[in-house]
Amino acid sequence: MDQLLHHPQMITRLVDGRICAYDLAAGGRGVLSPVLVCRPSADEDVVDHAVAAGLAHVYYTTLDGVVCTTADGAEVWRSGFEPRSGRRFGHRPSCVLSSDGLVVWVYRPDAMAGRDRADQWVALDAGTGSVVAQADLRTVGHGGQQWLHPAGEEVLLDVGEGQDGSVMYRASLAGDGMELIGYPWDDRCLIALSPDGHHFMTVHHEQADVAVHAYPEGEVRFALSVDAFGHDPGEVYVEWSGGYLSPDTLIVTLGGETEDEEEWFRHYRVDARSGQVRTEFDARTDNPYDMRPLGDGSWLTTDASGHPIRWTDS
């Protein structure tokens, strides 16, 4: 999965065991070539990854820690999760680098890892790996997606608890600690932030509808159920994918099955301000999770090589 900012400059992907960074600001189209390729230690199980804007350092999580290396893979620091987990599945720590490159935000699914404690959200000094701030969460999550707000101060976290739902937080650093705010629901999955940071998009955990909320408090601006797209809610569902193709256009994905029990997916353009459903959208991929709108009229899919393909809406 791509790790991207919402005014994206760099994204990273894991390709053949290497962390590859791609410069979206360069404006390339088609299959993108990495501007950095970093090979972690052979015995590392890389889960998530990020890269500094200047390409001097690479950050990644494993099941048991966070690692910072130089671009050529030499270890700079390591922050371990103690005790080490004896469970190899069901818990995937995530990381994201702050917009100014000074802080690594890390979601730790400690409960599912068997560490006999609550999940944690931790802010680490990107230069040293020391803890800047941390907070216990009320979740038992398998993994967590993090989003940087475009203004640069706040970070959003969506913790997936499997069949139990999805819990959402926002946080910022305040003094010597973390100011943590939880959203008052556990049944909505965060999909995307608008390019200007004024709104965000969620899909109901049971996939009944898609909604756009005002940032930061989360007031619902509009919600669309399956029938708004001309489909039967008893047979079709809203997929947990899509996002902002541009400031004015959302991509919403619906899924269902044919009479032969074959899955199908369709993408739709939706007016991000009014909620009006417009036309179908050709994402150039059959995998709904392989389509990543970037908010500037372009989106990413994946080449057979594993490198991203950038398409443009023109």
The model's pLDDT over 32-89, given as tens digits with 9 standing for 90+, comes to 999 999 999 878 899 999 999 999 999 999 999 999 999 999 999 999 999 989 898 9
List Cβ neighbours of 135 (8 Å cut-off, separation of 6 or more).
Answer: 120, 121, 122, 171, 178, 180
Beta bridge partners of 129: none
Q: Is 261 exposed, middle or buried (0-12, 13-18, 19+ CB in 10 A)?
A: exposed
User: What is d(CA 203, CA 219) in angstroms, rounded to the nearest whole number?
Assistant: 14
DSSP 187: B
Tokens (6 digits) for 135: 């907070």
Q: How confident is the model at residue 180, as a pLDDT?
A: 98
Name the fold adopted by 40-186: Lipocalin (2.40.128)
Confidence of residue 112 (pLDDT cuts 50, 70, 90): very high
User: What is d(CA 36, CA 54) in angstroms, rounded to the nearest whole number?
Assistant: 10
The model's pLDDT over 182-198, given as tens digits with 9 standing for 90+, comes to 999 999 999 999 999 99
Sign, CA dihedral 248-22-145-106, equals negative
pLDDT at 5 over 50: no
Is pLDDT larger for residue 168 or for residue 43?
A: 168
Q: Where are the domains of the chain?
A: 40-186
Q: Is 90 exposed, middle or buried (0-12, 13-18, 19+ CB in 10 A)?
A: middle
